Amino acid sequence: MYLVRWKLIWASGKVLYGRWGKEADRGDTENQAWCQNKEGLAHAMIEKRDLVTKETTIAAQISGPDFCNFEWMGRITFRGKFGEFKPTIVGLTMVCRSDVVEVYNDGTVRHRAKVLPDNLFHYGK
């Protein structure tokens, strides 16, 4: 099992990281990837951290101009006698200009091409 997080690196040397395995608090826009200025962005990546060995590796990386956004992937399970919903994060997606990279908590990395209407949305405006 792994924990995943996003990482942004600018040409100026500035580096920002997300939280391991979870999104930032709702009001904490300083630590959310979607509201960061992407001007001068050199690289965007998803890192994964092995829960046993604590080793951190890069699961996916893209150049700054091709990066659009990150999206958390989740699953909701229905448990209990009285119907309790339990949300769980299962991975992180990196949306790029031409494709989407999904990194799951089990270490699996999947690439898929963007299709309409996903390609019609213009990120970064």
CB 107 within 8 A of CB 93: no
The range of the structural domain enclosing residue 93 comes to: 2-120
Structure tokens at 5: 């997080």
Residue 42 lies in a domain: yes
Mean residue pLDDT of the chain comes to 86
Tell me the per-residue pLDDT of 87-122, one tens digit each, with 9 for 90 and over. Answer: 888 999 999 988 999 999 999 999 998 876 555 555
Rg (CA), the chain: 15
Residue 44 lies in a domain: yes
Centre a 10 Å sphere on the Cβ of residue 94 and count the other Cβ atoms it contains.
25
Structure tokens at 125: 């405006």
Domains identified in the chain, total number: 1
Q: pTM to 2 decimals?
A: 0.81
Residue 125 lies in a domain: no
Q: What is the pLDDT of residue 41?
A: 93
Contacts with 76 (C-beta within 8 Å, 6 or more apart), sequence order: 85, 86, 87, 88
Q: How far is CA 90 from CA 11, 39, 96, in A?
A: 31, 30, 20
Q: What is the pLDDT of residue 124?
A: 47
Residue 56 lies in a domain: yes
